[in-house]
Amino acid sequence: MDAVISELPKFLSGFQMTLILAVTSGVLSLILGIILAAMRVAPFSSLRGFATIYVETVRNTPLTLVFVFFVFVLPTLGIILPLGKVPAIIALTVYTSAFICEAVRSGINSVGIGQAEAARAIGLRTSQTLSLVIIPQAVRTVIPPIINVLIALTKNTSVAAGFTVVELTSTGRRLSLNHPDQVIPILLGVAAFYLLITIPAGLIAGAVERKVVFAR
């Protein structure tokens, strides 16, 4: 236990790096994911096709392999990213945006077709149908799955530990090697930091979900 207390500053700086990775790539993948979702429901088949190929390829590739691409493969093509968090953020964004896209798309699809038909029937224009009827309902159903994707992202930032980024998991590994007699408390300490993010986020997702179900 004393190793956890004496090394607390290292835990905190690892936690800070995990947060930086999660927040930066979270924001970026939300933006990219929503653009992709818009492309997937666009009336232009070429955009739909492109977005579908992107999403299906990325979703079926392991995250570790995406990291390998940005850290080990791109440099052989003469594109050298600074080592550390930049390739990690890019890899996490590329990966997570595909899942955000799917969450948003299924949220839009979950709004009953009758809602749109009813809106059209009372004479609302396309823009009004979207802004007054579809989007307000879609946003509510979309929030819980998006929170779940962001929770997965937070856990996925740990993959960066294998690619020279010193975040929580990597800190845990280093400290374990320095204090071989206290590995269990150290790793449980790391776990506690992850739970600090994932459990409250999970509770929020659950609460929103119940609220949405109630509203239906």
Partner 1 sequence: MTNRVLYDAPGPKTLRTERIVSAIMFVALLAGLALLLKSGADRGIFDDRWRVLYDPPKSQTAVDVWKSLLVHGLGMTLKAALIAAPSAFVLAFIFAIARNSKNRIVSWVSVAIIEFLRGMPVLLMMFFGLLALRLDSFSAVVFGLTLYNAAIMAEILRAGLLALPRGQAEAGTAIGLTTWENLRIIQFPQVITLMLPSLISQFIVLLKDSSLGFIVGYNELLTTMKDNYSFFGDTSRLPLFIAVVSIYLIVSISLSRLAVWVEKKLANRHA
C-alpha torsion sign, points 28, 51, 140, 60: negative
Considering only 38, 173, 208, 209, the residue that binds partner 1 (CB under 8 A) is 173
| Minimum CB–partner distance for residue 140 and partner 1 (Å) | 16
Number of residues that bind partner 1 (CB under 8 A): 57
44 scored as a contact of partner 1 (CB under 8 A): yes
The C-alpha atoms of residue 162 and residue 174 are separated, in whole angstroms, by 12
Considering only 2, 9, 76, 214, the residue that binds partner 1 (CB under 8 A) is 76
Q: Which of 109, 95, 117 is nearest to 26 (CA)?
A: 95
Q: Which 79-118 residues touch partner 1, going by CB under 8 A?
A: 79, 108-109, 111, 113, 116-117
177 scored as a contact of partner 1 (CB under 8 A): yes
Q: Find the DSSP H helices in 60-180.
A: 63-68, 85-110, 113-121, 126-128, 135-156, 168-178
- Inter-residue contact 33 to 104 (CB < 8 Å): yes
By CB under 8 A, which span of 3-11, 19-27, 64-72, 80-88 interacts with partner 1? Answer: 64-72
190 scored as a contact of partner 1 (CB under 8 A): yes
The C-alpha atoms of residue 201 and residue 208 are separated, in whole angstroms, by 11
The C-alpha atoms of residue 104 and residue 24 are separated, in whole angstroms, by 19
Identify the burial level of 173 via C-beta atoms within 10 angstroms of its C-beta, where 0-12 means exposed, 13-18 middle and 19 or more buried: middle
The C-alpha atoms of residue 60 and residue 39 are separated, in whole angstroms, by 20
Considering only 31, 132, 199, 213, the residue that binds partner 1 (CB under 8 A) is 199
Considering only 11, 156, 165, 166, the residue that binds partner 1 (CB under 8 A) is 156
The C-alpha atoms of residue 100 and residue 110 are separated, in whole angstroms, by 15
47 scored as a contact of partner 1 (CB under 8 A): yes
| Minimum CB–partner distance for residue 78 and partner 1 (Å) | 5
By CB under 8 A, which span of 26-34, 84-92, 161-169, 208-216 interacts with partner 1? Answer: 161-169
Which residues would be at the binding site for partner 1 (CB under 8 A)?
41, 43-47, 50, 56-57, 60-65, 68-69, 72-73, 76-79, 108-109, 111, 113, 116-117, 120, 126, 129-130, 134, 151, 155-159, 161-162, 169, 172-173, 176-177, 183-184, 187, 190-191, 194-195, 198-199, 202
